[in-house]
Structure 1
Amino acid sequence: MRSRILAVLVSGVLAAALTACGSDSGDGGQVLRVGTLTDAPPAIFFEDGRFTGYDNELLREIAKREGFAVEFVGTEFAGLLAGVANGRFDIGSSTISSTEARKATVAFSDGYATEYTTIVTEDGARLDSAAAFKGKRLGVVQASVQDDFATNRVDGAEVVRFPDYNAGFAQLRNGTLDGWVVPRDIGTQYLEQNADAPLELGYTIESKETPSAFAVSKDNEELLDKLNKGLAAAIADGTVAKLWSRFYQDTPLPKELAQGGPGLPVRNPGA
């Protein structure tokens, strides 16, 4: 009974966060709506009534530089890109991998993080290759790049889709999943926050080809230019490096994002 009551309380908190808005006042500039997640630390999360994390704090810094304000709105990932494309959100901020398939729906800023995808498993499972997961149940966030990875690069796995990270992690903990496919930093954070869980980071791959980037409407070239200009300035003056060290203490900063670095350019179709 205690577990059921706790589950209801946690669900209530998440529901409140999904409907919450957090506005950052600017200097009288335009207020832009930002769709973001609530449960993917350290990149994006909801804490003490505020949307935060590396992605969102970086976006706040860009907004300051470019003279606009941001209003964060909690949402589920499955509908985020469609929400950007149809104008519900001006910006998508959710450690979004800038894949070619997604560029058919939205445009992406230049990148602000490289990617590591990992499969979290039971401690000692020794599932250390994609082939080892044939016939296994893999949990993913629906429509995420991890969903694509599990579906197309892990032959024979049974892919189980969830609306958010919390739901997938809960199923992994209770033993109904064999693996949970997530960005490595998110997996690391969950394991640190749940040290009692007998889990470990397993099979991991790295990619710099589709860096995490902010999503905007394909028609909003002005906003895209502002995001890229503000991001370049934040890399140049070391702001990105400072935010990285704040949120990713155990992960080396990609050299492209170091102070004065070249950044992680993203090319959109037709650009």
Structure 2
Amino acid sequence: MRKILSTLAVVAAATAGLTACGSSDASGETLRVGTLTDAPPSIYLENGQFTGYDNELLRDIAKREGFKVDFVGTEFSGLLAKVAGGQLDIGSSTISATAARKKTVAFSNGYDTSYTTVVSKKGAALPAANSFAGKRVGVVQGSVQDEFAAKLAGAQVVRFPDYNAGFAQLKTGGLDGWVVPKDIGQKYLDQNPAVPLEFGYTVADKDTPSAFAVAKSNTELLKKINDGLAKAIADGTAARLHAQFFKEAPIAKELEKGGPGLPVANS
């Protein structure tokens, strides 16, 4: 009998080892979610807890769909590769669903739209795309803002692992401009009233909404996220969470209670 029980235990352990990144328990599967620590109000760490609009919305989706989430702080530059390789199950970091990124991962339907802007010291006069010749412009490496800055003629692009590092350089004069999602830029302006900053060149991101990233092969998880997101939009939860974290910016009309959502095609 002992030999039989021992054999069964070995088989059970081996079977458990076949699961991918997530683990299971009686309350549902726990999935590892890669996110950032310093991009409020979308994604940030507060009192040791990962929060923000993106992460609280994902928590709501997980509860609806019967799985749990374990957030892991990750540098953005390696996030999608880790999702594609199975080290992380989900990417939650205001990830714009661009055509280039769809070659690496699959995206859920969109849960937010945003603007990309350049934050600078007041009086820097950076209002247009042709204002950046010879200017040092900071970005988070691998972000959509990295792509944005690369199109600014003559700009010297300086890449950082996170938003805090770039902002620190902007404050001390190491950068002429700092390219960020406008909501994140607004948060830094609000939190640093003594620093004379302003918004410069700004562009709307209309066709690439923020979406959650999963491995291309994980169609079941993608369906769960999309189903949960649709329910959160339908009953107004997405709009409520957006209003909680974005005090001034209204949610996209498609994401209002009962709205049609923001479909994302992965092929």
Is the shorter-chain TM-score for this pair beyond 0.5, marking a shared fold? yes
Q: Tell me which structure has the larger Cα radius of gyration.
A: 2
- What is the alpha-carbon distance in structure 1 between the residues aligned to residue 96 and residue 35 of structure 2? 14
**Separation in 1 of the partners of 2:93 and 2:201?**
23
Q: How does 1:1-271 map to 2 (within 5 A)?
A: 28-151=27-150, 153-269=151-267
Counterpart-to-counterpart distance in 2, 1:130 and 1:216: 33
The residue type paired with residue 250 of structure 2 is P
Is the 2:140–2:161 Cα contact (8 Å) retained in structure 1?
yes
Q: Tell me how far 1:135 sits from its aligned partner.
A: 1.4
Aligned counterparts of 1:254 and 1:221: Cα–Cα separation in 2? 26
Residues 245-264 of structure 1: per-residue CA shift (max 9 Å, x gap): 00011101110100000111
Instruction: Give the C-alpha shift of residue 115 in structure 1.
Output: 1.9
Q: Distance in 2 between matches of 1:218 and 1:115?
A: 25
Aligned equivalents of 1:74 and 1:207: distance in 2? 25
2:247 is paired with a residue whose SS is coil
Structure 1 segments, 4+ long, off by >3 Å, are: none
Distance 2:244 2:194 in 1: 25
Residues 131-151 of structure 1, C-alpha deviation per residue, up to 9 Å, x if partnerless?
001211100000000000101
What displacement does 1:126 show? 2.1
Which residue identity is paired with 1:55?
A: D
Q: 8 Å contact 2:135–2:156 — kept in the other structure?
A: yes
- The CA distance in 1 between the partners of 2:195 and 2:25, in whole Å, is 42
Q: Are residues 26 and 241 of structure 1, via their aligned partners in 2, closer, same or farther at CA, if it must alter by over 3 Å?
A: farther
1:26 Cα deviation (Å)? 8.9
Distance in 1 (alpha carbons) for counterparts of 2:68 and 2:36: 19
The answer (yes or no) to whether the contact 2:106–2:216 under 8 Å persists in 1 is yes
The TM-score with structure 1 as length reference comes to 0.89
2:114–2:183 Cα contact (<8 Å) kept: no
SS at structure 2 position matched to 1:175: coil
Distance 1:162 1:96 in 2: 17
- For residues 250 and 121 of structure 1, the distance between their equivalents in structure 2, rounded to whole angstroms, comes to 21
The alignment yields a C-alpha RMSD, in angstroms, of 1.4
Q: Write the letter of the residue equivalent to 2:41.
A: P
Q: Deviations over 1:124-167 (max 9, x none)?
A: 2221001001211100000000000101x211100000000000
> What is the one-letter code of the residue matched to 1:213?
A
Cα contact 1:26–1:64 (8 A) shared by 2: no
Q: Contact conserved, 1:119 with 1:204, CA < 8 A, in 2?
A: yes
* 55-64 vs 119-128, which moves further: 119-128
> Structure 1 vs Structure 2: percent identity of aligned residues?
68
The residue that corresponds to 1:4 in the other structure is none
1:194-250: CA deviation from partner (whole Å, max 9, x where unpaired): 111111111111022000000000000000000000000000000001001000111
Q: Secondary structure at the match of 2:249?
A: coil
Distance 1:148 1:26, change over 3 A: farther
What is the distance in 1 between the residues matched to 2:31 and 2:222? 13
Structure 2 unaligned segments of length 5 or more: list them: 1-23
Deviation at 1:192, TM superposition (A): 0.5
Aligned partners of 2:134 and 2:97: how far apart in 1?
A: 29
Whole-Å Cα distance in 1 between the matches of residues 266 and 42 of structure 2? 23
Give the TM-score, by structure 2 length: 0.90
Q: Residue type matched to 1:94 in 2?
A: S
Figure out how many residues of one structure are paired with residues of the other and give that number. 245
